[in-house]
Structure 1
Amino acid sequence: MLERMWPGGGAKRVVWKVFLDQLFAAPATISVFYVGLSVLEGRQDPFEDWREKFWTSYKTGVVYWSTMQAVNFSLVPPVARTVFVGGITLIWTVFLCHLRQQRGKAHTDVSSD
């Protein structure tokens, strides 16, 4: 969508697209990931993981996605961008899954009771 709204790859345009991506897409997708999976798992509080891990995920994502999207918008030809983003999204999803599996202080082991 960003490429259609602001085609081209000059430095100013790339910075603008990366900024908009981090401002709107990043919080939305991270939120959908944590809340959506919690709902699908039937957790009592679907926002628990989101509250515990959103900011860590967002800060990490700002660094990761800003770098990857800058490469994407400036070096990757438009015809190959979907494949490139698919690959870096796989890496990002593995990171989020790993982070989600890390248990915070709010989680307890029910088998030890």
Structure 2
Amino acid sequence: MQAVVEQITYTPFAMVCFYFIMSLMESKGVDGAAEEVSNKFLPTYKVGVCVWPILTTINFTFVSERNRVPFVSVCSLMWTTFLSFMKQADAEAARSAVTLS
């Protein structure tokens, strides 16, 4: 249940902030940042909805309590790498990267 609540409440906010603020830091301006959010949010969110509930379930079902933080840390590192890939991809490449054809 926690994974579902997180995917509905926190994840969209975090992804929008990531794309918007990173675009502003690249001097794309507010319009460019808003365009990047509109192009990349949905493909990234789809991947997150598929990945994080599974990882959370694995973490709380199979990983011992003392290893849960390291497990989530490794998963977060991989997720941050994916976000960096999506950020650098152009809009069409971002959509096609997460589409199963």
Structure 1, 21-30 or 96-105: larger mean CA deviation: 96-105
Residue in 1 that maps onto 2:63:
76
**Of 18, 21, 24, the match for 2:3:** 18
Fraction of identical pairs, as percent: 30
Report the secondary structure of 1:47's partner residue.
helix
Whose radius of gyration is greater, 1 or 2?
1
- Structure 1: stretches of 5+ with no match in the other structure: 1-15, 106-113
Residue 71 of structure 1 aligns to a residue whose secondary structure is: helix
What RMSD, in angstroms, separates the aligned Cα atoms of the two structures? Answer: 1.5
Partner residue of 1:110?
Answer: none
How far the C-alpha of 1:73 sits from its partner, in A, is 2.0
Structure 1: how far apart are the matches of 2:85 and 2:69? 24
Q: Give the TM-score taking structure 2 as reference length.
A: 0.78
TM-score (normalizing by structure 1): 0.71
* Partner in structure 2 of residue 10 of structure 1: none
